[in-house]
Amino acid sequence: MSYFVAAILFICLEQPLASLGALSNRKPRTTSTKTEMTETKKDTPDDEGVTENGKMKLIVLFACVSLALAGSKLKKLKNEMADLEDKFATVMNDTSSSLEELQADVDGLITAFNEYKEAQAKKDIDNQWQALHMAAAAACRGSTPQGGKGPWSNSVVPKENGVKCDDQCSRNDDGRTLCKAEVSLTGYPGKATSYTERVGHFYNYECDGGWNADITHNEVAAEEDAIQVTGTAYYRFCCCAKP
């Protein structure tokens, strides 16, 4: 019990206990006059030896004890509340730090996912251009039945609009300066669903033709993602070989 509670009990108990001690030693008086009997009766002890004044002091005593106990419980409750507030503040600080770390991790995942999407989109475009290049190589092979012999491989280069493949192959610096053919081809995305569905188109040209100046048929001048545009764009290529 705290010093505060002990002080309250001492103050409350001092007078009531002294009064009770005096009452226990007091002897009742017998008077012959009516007036004295009336005055004496006002502070005459009851059957248990306690006067009315003593009862009031006992009530005050109990009230003081109750107040002291309530004060002790209130102080204890305040201490518990203060402890809970400290713990709550600690938890909130830890939670705030955890949320910040979680948000940073989420932001990092979003950034990584966006970078992956961009890289995958670029890879898809590159794969589509590669598929077109392989188709062009196959078309060149089919257009030169007498070519392809010897230790040298033949090459396929994108055709420039308005320029003859004879002139374009002659500018190659890898020794493949002889034009064998010119091809123009296109293909459609997606899987075929019938045996009569057209999946692509092609043309064969002579090496001295420079017609068809449509810019959409020039791979070098086309946009990066032009290969993904659904339409009939005949990309043209020159088939070059070593003389």
The DSSP string of 157-179 is EEPPTT--HHHHHHT-SSS--EE
Give the residue from 202, 147, 201 showing the smallest Cα distance to 169: 147
| 198 torsion bin: left (phi>0), alpha (psi -120 to 50), beta (else) | beta
Question: CA–CA separation, 175 vs 146, rounded Å?
Answer: 19
- Does this model's pTM top 0.75? no
| Element holding 201 (H helix, E strand) | strand 200-205
- If phi over 0 gives left and psi between -120 and 50 gives alpha, with beta otherwise, what is residue 100? alpha
pLDDT, position 80: 83
The secondary structure of 7-33, three-state, reads HHHHHHHHHHHHHHHHHHHCCCCCCCC
pLDDT of residue 12: 55
Per-residue pLDDT of the chain (243 residues; tens, 9 = 90+): 455 555 555 555 555 445 445 444 554 444 444 444 444 444 555 555 556 666 666 676 666 666 666 667 777 788 888 888 877 777 777 666 677 777 888 888 899 889 898 999 899 999 999 999 999 999 998 888 776 667 788 999 999 888 899 999 999 999 999 999 999 998 888 889 999 999 888 888 889 876 667 777 889 988 888 888 876 678 999 999 988
Q: What's the confidence (pLDDT) of residue 173?
A: 92
SS3 211: coil
- Cβ contacts of residue 25 below 8 Å, gap of 6+? none
Of residues 203, 210, 144, the one with CA closest to residue 178: 144
pLDDT given at position 8:
52
